[in-house]
Structure 1
């Protein structure tokens, strides 16, 4: 049986909001020259989750479940070994640092690391809301307690330890780029997961299955304003401390992600768009993005001297899907994980929540560089490279947080 449809009033509401927030994208910007600091930026401070964690969860001690395999091969296979990055290689934050002529960001929990040019506070599995706040509404964060507020406190602790006054903090932040996210996706993931459908032997869903799924969707919708407020509040704090360039990314198109596609397993073709993505889940992601952009506009009014960029992960990802073949990806496998049960030739999405990448019985596809999805949840190194280029050189982060020199 098909799952329940998104209510038409919600669709209409979202459509009206989206019409009010669409902006023309800036002209494409060419890649930066390597080896020199760009646009005066000498440091990056990054908050987030597995999209940008370069080793904090690894140092916390990886939790069980789907995260336990991310700290060992085949993760990191493209760069010589696992580093705590949830990919076969580098992430967007790595490519951004390289383009800025800076060293790769070290994780905050690597206490012996060099933090001269910034710190990475992101933790795989982290949430925008504190774990206690999630628990009050019945949502469990199973992998880490290092929420956005915890990361923000780490940032304050770091600044206190490396400066002598608030004025010195401001001086330090003048030449820094602060990345507030992507974070918040896990808040929704955990709410969805708690009500994940359980298909019977015939593949059909019971009424109880559908009820659980819709409960998860409703709970996640209730979370959206709270998640967005958490992100905006964190951005406000770093701006108050003296940040002058802040990037706030939106959510990915969840309906295009193999893990979600496999979990929903909708059989009605009307539920999908032309890219093979679930329309309802993408509308949910856009609801988050619309509210986030409204919050960003308020920040811009409050801090007119600062550059506060919205990084449009949603549309950059969609552009990558639509241009997959011309970008060198396998156009027939854009919604199929590279590493999971069955190698590259398993199920429709090559994703099994019970056998995540790295678990016994899983394998890696023969050409990861031609896949967008690495493990059904995270992207391949190649896809992260393309995303970074679209965001910071092709205008999908607006206004441009960095003025890269023309070649």
Structure 2
């Protein structure tokens, strides 16, 4: 039955669209606080929008509930001395990017006592590209936060209005800034799939087949609107004066333990050469192809700006392929470090990392997946290097000095 579903999924996608030694970021924060910030390529600030891949503490201040409640306490943050609201054992890509730029770690917008001299992080774990009302009209509920991309964009506008004296001053500030529009949109799809997850023990029957098929249809129908939301937000930021914008694509969902566990496909033919579910990766690629088309249209409208596509999909695939060379355990590439349920993925949606009955692997630095959904600090460091130092974000949004 699962094989039939995956085949139908691929057919649907083809109809809808074509596919083509640990670093220490806190050092940058300390040096910047002492006035020793070294400007890299003229960038003096970062403004970030997104979800749990880049939230540095907004949801924890909103009040996390549901499965995300566990991200606010150990073992989250275990590599950096305690939980901060980051969905990992340590730092995220946005932290490493700030460190590489010689800037302090990006403070969350909801930390009202924070220093925002060098930028603001508006990302919120669980956030969606579409607002809750738009998703509700499609039968998709948002369980964790109402801080959609539109809400984050309005917060940015409010912040700029309060901290600059004119639109011209805003333009001047943005001309010296790096603006990160996502990754966001993954949760829109997650919630659509989750609402139709198999019932009971996931037994393979006609009822569950229908539920999974409904999830596929609902998620696929969301893609054009999700992409439009992201590119529209980028357009507003460019109109306000942004000159360097990074828009990331989606991860290869078929390589993510939470998705692989949910499908639990036994047929080897459903997997690609990297051991990932091919049909789910085609879905992620559909999003990415449409997003890249939107980015090309933005480049035509704003020829003076650098609008980079950050290829999270192929950077992740490269990380998988080079896992042995970069110190990851090649026998556990799709196995969560922190979780429960044992099996191939160590993932149980009802017992997320941090919940009673879960445990943490002995060497997180050797794992790519932290909790089945998010990556480890080590994996985020590797992804940052691939994106911003090895060309997986193109055109390069930052010209780093050559070593």
**Shared fold per TM-score greater than 0.5:** yes
Give distance in 2, aligned partners of 1:190 and 1:74: 25
Q: What is the SS of the residue equivalent to 2:82?
A: coil
1:358 to 354, 357, 365: 354
Q: For residue 283 of structure 1, report the CA deviation from its aligned partner.
A: 0.2
2:177 is aligned to 176
Task: Indicate the residue corresponding to 1:237 in structure 2.
Answer: 236
Judge conservation of contact 2:13–2:282 (CA < 8 Å) in 1. Answer: yes
Choose between structure 1 and 2 for higher RCO, CA contacts under 8 A separated by at least 6 residues.
1
More divergent stretch after superposition (390-399 vs 272-281): 272-281
Deviation at 1:347, TM superposition (A): 1.5
Tell me what 1:70 maps to. Answer: 71
1:384 aligns with 2:383: no
Q: Which residue is equivalent to 1:53? A: 55
Structure-2 residue corresponding to 1:291: 290
Contact 2:17/2:286 (8 A) holds in 1: no
Aligned residues of 2:2 and 2:263 also touching (Cα < 8 A): no
Counterpart in 2 of 1:375? 371
Cα separation, 2, equivalents of 1:330 and 1:9:
34
* Ranges in structure 2 where 5+ consecutive residues have no aligned partner: 21-27, 29-36
Is the Cα contact below 8 Å between 1:191 and 1:219 reproduced in 2? yes
Q: Aligned to 1:49, what secondary structure does the other structure show?
A: coil
* Structure 2 equivalent of residue 211 of structure 1: 210
Question: 1:86-165 maps to which residues of 2 (within 5 A)?
Answer: 86-165=87-166
2:44 aligned with 1:42: yes
- Classify the secondary structure of the residue corresponding to 1:248: strand
1:341 Cα deviation from its structure 2 partner: 1.1
State whether residues 341 and 357 of structure 1, in contact with CA within 8 Å, keep that contact through their aligned partners in structure 2.
Answer: yes
CA contact under 8 A between 2:244 and 2:306: conserved in structure 1?
A: yes
Contact 1:198-1:205 at 8 Å conserved across structures:
no
Shift of 1:276: 1.3
**CA distance change for structure 1 residues 391 and 14 in 2, over 3 Å: closer, same or farther?**
farther
15 and 235 in structure 1: CA distance in 2 versus 1, 3 angstrom threshold: closer
Matched, 1:318 2:321: no
- Could you list the per-position Cα deviations for residues 124-182 of structure 1 after superposition, in whole angstroms to 9, with x for gaps in the alignment? 00000000000011100000000000000000000000001100100110000000000
8 Å CA contact 2:13, 2:286 repeated in 1: no
Map Cα deviations across residues 353-393 of structure 1 (whole Å, 9 max, x no partner).
01000000101000000000000000000000000000000
How far apart are residue 2 of structure 1 and its match? 2.6
Contact in 1 for aligned 2:86/2:92 (Cα 8 Å): yes
Q: Give the TM-score normalised by the residue count of structure 2.
A: 0.94
Q: Kindly tell me: are residues 11 and 224 of structure 1, through their superposed partners in 2, closer, same or farther at Cα, counting changes over 3 Å?
A: closer
Q: Answer whether contact 2:18 2:286 (CA < 8 A) is retained.
A: no
| Deviation for aligned residue 1:15 | 8.3
Residues 333 and 367 in structure 2, CA contact (< 8 A), matched pair in contact too: yes
Tell me, yes or no, if the aligned pair for 1:44 and 1:177 is still in contact at 8 Å: yes
CA distance in 1 between counterparts of 2:238 and 2:17 reads 31
Alignment partner, residue 28 of structure 1: none
RMSD: 1.5
C-alpha change, 1:15 and 1:231, in structure 2 (3 Å) is: closer
Q: After superposition, what is the alpha-carbon deviation per residue over 1:84-132, rounded to whole angstroms, capped at 9, x for unaligned?
A: 0000000000000000000000000000000000000000000000000
**Closer, same or farther: CA 188–98 of 1 in aligned 2, 3 Å:** same
CA spacing shift, 1:323–1:36, aligned 2, 3 Å: same
* Mapped partners of 1:208, 1:307: distance in 2: 49
Whether the 8 Å contact between 2:13 and 2:283 is mirrored in structure 1 is no
SS in 2 for 1:69: helix
| SS class of match (1:6) | helix
The alpha-carbon distance between structure 1 residues 341 and 17, as it changes in their structure 2 partners (threshold 3 A), is closer
The aligned counterpart of 1:27 is none
Structure 1: unaligned runs, 5 residues or longer = 19-33
Q: Which runs of 4+ in 1 moved over 3 A?
A: 6-17
Name the residue aligned to 2:340. 341
Deviation at 1:66, TM superposition (A): 1.2
Cα drift, residue 12 of structure 1: 4.6
Distance 2:19 2:254 in 1: 19
What's 2:32 paired with?
none
What is the DSSP-based 3-state SS (H/G/I as helix, E as strand, rest coil) of the residue aligned with 1:386?
A: helix
